[in-house]
Each structure stands twice: as C-alpha cells, then as structure tokens.
Amino acid sequence: MTWLITGGAGYIGAHVVRAMTGAGERVVVLDDLSSGIRRRLPAGVPLVDGSYLDGPLLRRILAGHGVSGVVHLAARKRVPESLERPTEYYRDNVGGLATLLEAVADAGVDRFLFSSSAAVYGAPDAELITEDTPCAPLNPYGETKLAGEWLVRAAGSAHGIATACLRYFNVAGAAAPELADTGVFNVVPMVFDRLTRDEAPRIFGDRHPTPDGTCVRDYIHVADLAEAHLAAARRLSAGGAGGDLTVNIGRGEGVSVRELVTLIGEVTGDRRPALVEGPRAGDPPRAVASAALAARELGWTARHGLGEMVESAWRGWLLQHPR
C-alpha cells in the first residue's frame, strides 16, 4: 500500500516519512513548502508541491499514486497566530480537512491518521491527562484540532474509514541534524535563538501552582513521535483500530520550564540566568500525558529522554546557525 503524508517535508513530517520508509512503507508527500524543506526527504520519495485545500489536486494524487492510507500532518500550528487570525485557522485546519476527507472518501481510501494536539485539553486540573480528560481548548488552534477529531471520526463512521487521532504533547529534538526544527516557535529553539543573539532566555511566569512556579510540560522526542505514527499506521492497516482510536503521545513525565532552561544551559555551555516575564494568557500550569493507552493499543512507548532531545536539537541548531 501507499501512504499519502501531508506536510511530509516539515519538521515532524520529515521524521514520519523517514520512519515509515525505513520500515518499508511506500509514501508520497504533499507539501506546499511554506515551512517544509525539500531536502529533508529521502531520495526517491515523490513530492507534490501543493496544498491539501486543493480538492482536484488531491484526487489526482490519490488516484495517480494508488494511495490507500493518509497521514494528515499539514496544518496551521501557531497558538498566538490563531488568536490573531481565527478565521484562517478554521478555514485551513477544519475546512481544508473537510476537503481532504471528501477526496479520501470519493477515492475509496480506507485508512486515515490525524495529527491532533494536547491543546484540545486546555488547562485541566489533572496530574496526568488521560484520553478521557474533558476537552476544553483555550485558543482557536486547539479548537480546530478538536473539531478536526470530530470530523475525522464522523467521516470514518460514514464512509467506512479506519481512523486514528494522535494527540501530541511538546515535541523536541531531531533524529539527525539536517532534520532539526528550523522554526523559532517551540520552547527549545526559542531558547537557542535567544542565546545565539546574546540574550537571556525568557520564562513566562514563575508563580504558577507548580513546584518551582514555572509551567510543567511533557516533552517527546520527535523520533519517538515518528515511531508512534508508524505504529498507528500499521494498526490501521491491520484493521483493528476502528473509527475511534484516540491516543496521547507523550512520555508521562513532567519537566518545568526552569528545569528545561537549566538543562539547555548545561548542553550549550551558556548558563546565564533566565529573564522572568509575565505569564502568557491561556498557558496551563501543568500538562503531562498519561501514555498508558498508547502502550496498550499501539505497543508504543517513548525511548528518548530530555537530555537526548536537547542535545540533538542543539546539533541541528548549530548546523543551521554556524558560529
């Protein structure tokens, strides 16, 4: 079978492509290259430069490449931007998903894996967030991911498509330096960027109800995340997932922002104190996954620790920003 991977030239997408092709799966990538990078893809992997909002293009790809499963990663993903441009986020993340699902149903594709987010949970008062924790997203980005899950399940039920939704927690690291995150929107590259510009890293709020007052998060190595996609895709191929498989992808271990910044200082050798600023609106004090369901349903557990994430991300940063 052949898998269509939307957003496959992006930071996460390129890792998913490598994991799946490395395991012998055939893939074709659709990416508009707005943030994706062509050279991230292994030799021989077909790349279609285009958008998942383009229905006719989707139908040509699905038919021309004999696609029988889709991994949908492409989306708008910046929380602050979603607050400024909510209509664009709903148009692309929900409307574009509807266009893709229509093409999938018309083509008779019967497997669909959706990239969701822990942002669907909002700020739950829970030591560990399980898949049964009520969803109450705090921003348009999280809302579009939750609406996307509803749409995927509804389309799966209506058209006999086996579906799965993976709720990512905080992604970091790189399987190889050339695959590292080139954006400065996630916390690890944001700290790297500040240090590279000879500025102190920033911490947003130090009076949260956590042990050291800073937000606590669950960080997952992007290579582990890619392996989770492979496990979910194979579960769908085996016909055992049904239409309602939704799992958290995290390590189940909380790390405070201050602890993370301290570790980054040890790895980079730049241990300057962090600058504490006011808390950001909508930041949950704690967001840590229960990873038990992923282990039980997918046979998947994370293998990489936080130190590996920071060290591998730093190697990638230095490749992109040589001193």
pLDDT tens-digit series, residues 206-260: 999 999 999 999 999 999 999 999 999 999 998 744 468 999 999 999 999 999 9
Residues 233, 69 contacting (CB under 8 angstroms): yes
Angstrom CA distances, 310 to 107, 175, 212, 268, 306, stand at 42, 11, 21, 9, 6
Question: Count of CB atoms within 10 A of residue 294's CB?
Answer: 24
**What does the alpha-carbon distance between residue 19 and residue 42 come to, in Å, rounded to a whole number?**
11
Instruction: Give pLDDT, residue 243.
Output: 60
Reading the block at residue 166, the tokens are 């993976």
Give 283's pLDDT tier (boundaries 50, 70, 90): confident
pLDDT of residue 244: 80
For residue 249, what are the β-bridge partners?
A: 168
Which of helix, strand or coil describes residue 301? coil
> For the residues 66-74, what does the mean pLDDT come to?
97
Fold (CATH) for 172-217+252-320: UDP-galactose 4-epimerase; domain 1 (3.90.25)
Tell me the C-alpha distance between 214 and 52, whole Å.
38
Question: Which pLDDT score, from 0 to 100, does residue 284 have?
Answer: 86
DSSP 48-117: EES-TT-HHHHHHHHHHTTEEEEEE------HHHHHH-HHHHIIIIIIHHHHHHHHHHHHT--EEEEEEE
Rounded distance between C-alpha atoms, residue 298 and residue 296, angstroms: 6
* Residue 323's pLDDT band (cuts 50, 70, 90): low
Q: Is 172-217+252-320 the same fold as 2-171+219-249?
A: no
Please give the span between the terminal C-alpha atoms of the chain, in angstroms, as a whole number: 44
Rounded Cα distance, 245 and 231, in Å: 12
Residues with Cβ within 8 Å of 213's Cβ and at least 6 positions away in sequence, in order, are: 205, 206, 207, 258
CA–CA gap between residue 47 and residue 31 (Å, rounded): 7
User: Is the pLDDT at 143 greater than 90, yes or no?
Assistant: yes
Q: How confident is the model at residue 167 (pLDDT cuts 50, 70, 90)?
A: very high
Catalytic residues: 141
Do residues 98 and 55 lie in contact, with contact meaning Cβ atoms separated by under 8 Å? no
What the block records as the tokens of 52 is: 């998942």
What is the per-residue pLDDT for 53? 97
Whether 201 shows a pLDDT value over 90: the answer reads yes
Q: What integer is the mean pLDDT of 44-67?
A: 97
Residue 281 has pLDDT above 90, yes or no: no
Q: What angle do CA 304, 175, 96 make, to 5 degrees?
A: 105
Smallest CA-to-CA distance from 156 within 105, 232, 85 is with 105
CATH superfamily of 2-171+219-249: NAD(P)-binding Rossmann-like Domain (3.40.50.720)
What average pLDDT does the segment 22-46 reach?
95
Residue 311 has pLDDT above 50, yes or no: yes
- Domain boundary assignment for the chain: 2-171+219-249, 172-217+252-320
Distance CA(54)–CA(63), nearest Å, equals 15
Res 146 pLDDT > 70: yes
Q: Please state, in angstroms and rounded to a whole number, the distance separating the CA atoms of residues 17 and 316.
A: 18
Q: Is the pLDDT of residue 177 over 70?
A: yes
**CB neighbours (10 Å) of residue 207?**
11
Per-residue pLDDT of 112-132, as tens digits, reads 999 999 999 999 989 999 999
- Let me know: does 126 contact 133? Beta carbons within 8 Å: yes
What pLDDT, on a 0 to 100 scale, did the predictor assign at position 287?
Answer: 94
Angle at 169 between CA 226 and CA 13, to 5 degrees: 30
Least confident of 18-27, 37-46, 140-149, 275-284: 275-284
Q: What is the chain's mean pLDDT, rounded?
A: 94
As a whole-number percent, the residues of the chain with pLDDT over 70 amount to 98
